Chain A
Amino acid sequence: MRGPVLAVRGLRTHFMMPERTVKAVDGITYELYPGKTLAVVGESGSGKSVHALSILKLLPMPPAEIVSGQVLFRGEDLLTMPAERLRQVRGDRIAMIFQEPMTSLNPVLTIGEQIAETVVLHQKKSKANAWEKAVGLLAKVGIPHPEERARDYPHQFSGGMRQRAMIAIALSCEPDVLIADEPTTALDVTIQAQILELMKELQREYRMAIVLITHNIGVVAEMADDVVVMYAGRAVEQAPVDALFKDPKHPYTKGLLESVPSIYKRKERLEAIKGQPPDLTGGFAGCPFAPRCAVALERCAGDDPPQFHLEGGRMSNCWREER
């Protein structure tokens, strides 16, 4: 397979509220290849999670509405395919894990039952076979004594183990794409390190493509091949990970990278981005980042910048790239 396994084109998801429209996702385009990790990074309200939920049409519609765009899975548009077909893809070919495993696991079913459920549903296996597979998957994600632990309920698992169980469910059908929405945000750093390592191992083994949604710049540096930086619902910069960290183009990306404290060096002051993230109702006359931008030009306030495509497969949504 040489083409992208997942291609998102011009995705826009708006929330139609009685008095206003919230443009939660307002333009994101990318391609994801087998075995690669694409990180979507942004702060709260940037639209990164809504974008992920839009891919699998997991948002309540209404109020959410996918206004435009395509999500092509192996060339097939997930947004227009019949519900029945989408159900086959979802959980089977494209799996998703969430930030808080406690709220995404069913508290009244055992861990083993929840993994087996997916296997029975998508792989038409008998219950006994599915259970066996569930135990095998728990072993695979590093749960000790998997035969016994498969009979436990989610509350008997620690946070890290629950996320491992979620990953086991996601892996049960050996998906082509894993969408991971802040998978380690609720975990301690030592447990986060374990889970990230596990994801990398499993990715190598299954040649899985990963969409990693995160706010943690360190996690991006560790995991990603390519990065999409989101701000106010749109992709403001896209680049391969090394290029992005070495030479960020968009002023927001620069600000974001400079505002992160490092454990390796102590800075006297952090270069904070001034101001607050914008309100997404209505629209923007110009660049949504202009009010906080340290290097804004005169035109930025009133003139919406297009996406400028640069060398090395990069994109920046900033007037400063105009040549």
Chain B
Amino acid sequence: MSASPPILEVRNLKKHFSSRKSMFGGEATVKAVDGVSLSVMPRESVAVVGESGCGKTTLGKLVLALEKPTEGQVFFDGRDMAGMTAGAVRKLRTDMQVIFQDPYSSLDPRMSVEAVITEPWIIHGMHKDPATRARKLAKLLDDCGIAKTHLARRPHEFSGGQRQRVGIARALALDPRLVVADEPVSALDVSIQAQILNLLKDLQKERALAYLFISHDFSVVRHLCARVAVMYLGRIVETADCESLFNDPQHPYTEALLSAVPVPDPSVEKRRKRILLCGDVPSPLKPPSGCRFHPRCRYMKESCRLDDPAPTQARPGHFAACPILPFKEKRSDAALVAL
């Protein structure tokens, strides 16, 4: 155990959105994030993985104080962000930055690359001395692999990969300690994705960054992150070190999710048997009772309809919220309810 406190700690965080169901009907509540606890240590990269609608992006916004939680707390460096004034939060933002998925919509088309990257310094009144600014900018461009000759260009003149480099440079301009990266490589082609992943890895080492890496892609996560949290319908169903999770997933959902990822090797693909989940993710407006995964779970027992499982430690550092844990041992005797 490391002695230093986590740079980010989230405790029982909830975000509920209300949406009017119909003209006459009452209000319906979408529990986008529904009781999430998570921590990120300094220099650690933690991934939040899940399918669309699981609440991973909302979780990122809550961490960045871009959304107000309905319940629960976010601690940054041990300080509760809820109690802070707007000014204090703004100051704190120099320590936490964000990289977005779509480098096409997250950069202002009217601003030059230089303006995009240096805007955070103007907002926070930093590096006012031209010499310092020039030196800082040169270092940043060099670190992120952006050519100096491109500074006067505008985002539309660049390809997706180059734009994402600009987005990364902007996020790093303030020397943050935590970067929330929301699907930063999903919009990129594989050959470019590899460049950006390598860049993110290098930058983490050089700049001692912590990442909260939000993604739907397990192979990317395995490459970049040390720890993983798997989300399903607003909840974290499993957390573990990367190796432990990939080698021996403890939650039936994680098991199915990993098995669904196509492997870039035809000999493996021909041999392996894939677990097919039936149906879609249920609507977060009406999450299932008990364990939220039970309608799609192949190990489901009657009790799963009622018992809302709490995370249980399967082995040190590896937690899963499954009411029939360890499900693998129960595979044989589990009264498999027909799906």
Contacts and interface: CB of A to CB of B under 8 A. Distances in A.
Say if A and B assemble together.
Answer: yes
Given A43-B191, A221-B269, A263-B246, A188 B263 contact: no
B242 interface: yes
B102 to A, nearest CB: 14
A245 B190 contact: no
A216 interface: yes
B257 A222 contact: no
Given A221-B263, A260-B190, A262-B263, A190 B256 contact: yes
A75 to B, nearest CB: 31
Contact of B190 (A144, A191, A217, A269): A217
A4 interface: no
B189 A215 contact: yes
Interface string A188-229: 111111101100000000000000000111111110100000
A191 B159 CA distance: 30
B189 A221 contact: no
B198 interface: yes
A269 B196 CA distance: 11
Contacts of A269: 198, 201
Given A197-B274, A215-B189, A263-B219, A271 B194 contact: yes
Contacts of A191: 51, 280
B339 to A, nearest CB: 12
B262 to A, nearest CB: 3
Contacts of A270: 194, 197-198, 223
Interface residues of A, number: 47
A180 interface: no
A36 B336 CA distance: 36
A189 B186 CA distance: 13
Interface in A104-143: none
Max count, chain B CB within 10 A of own CB: residue among A256, A261, A264: A261
A160 B51 CA distance: 13
Nearest to A225: B266
Contacts of B269: 221-222
A292 B68 CA distance: 46
Given A193-B274, A263-B222, A242 B266 contact: yes
A217 B264 contact: yes
Contacts of B314: none
A273 interface: yes
B189 A160 contact: no
Nearest to B256: A190
Contacts, number: 134
B216 interface: yes
A273 B222 contact: no
A259 B194 contact: yes
Max count, chain B CB within 10 A of own CB: residue among A215, A246, A272: A272
Nearest to B296: A190
A189 B51 contact: yes
Interface in B230-254: 242-243, 246
A161 interface: yes
A107 B302 CA distance: 40
Contact of A259 (B193, B261, B280): B193
B194 to A, nearest CB: 4
Nearest to A292: B191
B222 A262 contact: yes
Contact of A218 (B162, B220, B257, B261): B261
A158 interface: yes
A194 B281 CA distance: 13
B258 interface: yes
A91 B161 CA distance: 37
A188 B190 contact: no
A293 interface: no
B190 A259 contact: yes
B260 A190 contact: yes
A276 B257 contact: no
A221 B118 CA distance: 44
A216 B262 contact: yes
Interface string B132-170: 000000000000000000000000000101100000000
Contact of B219 (A256, A261, A277): A261
Max count, chain B CB within 10 A of own CB: residue among A44, A161, A215, A263: A263
Contact of A273 (B191, B223, B266, B281): B191
B276 A276 contact: no
A255 interface: yes
A309 B137 CA distance: 50
Contact of A262 (B191, B257, B264): B264
Contact of A272 (B52, B191, B262): B191
B36 interface: no
B75 interface: no
11 contacts: A189-B218, A190-B256, A193-B260, A215-B190, A221-B264, A221-B269, A222-B269, A259-B190, A262-B219, A263-B246, A277-B189
Given A191-B51, A224-B266, 6 more contacts: A44-B189, A245-B264, A256-B191, A264-B246, A270-B197, A277-B189
Closest 6 CB pairs of A and B: A218-B262, A259-B194, A272-B194, A43-B189, A193-B260, A270-B194
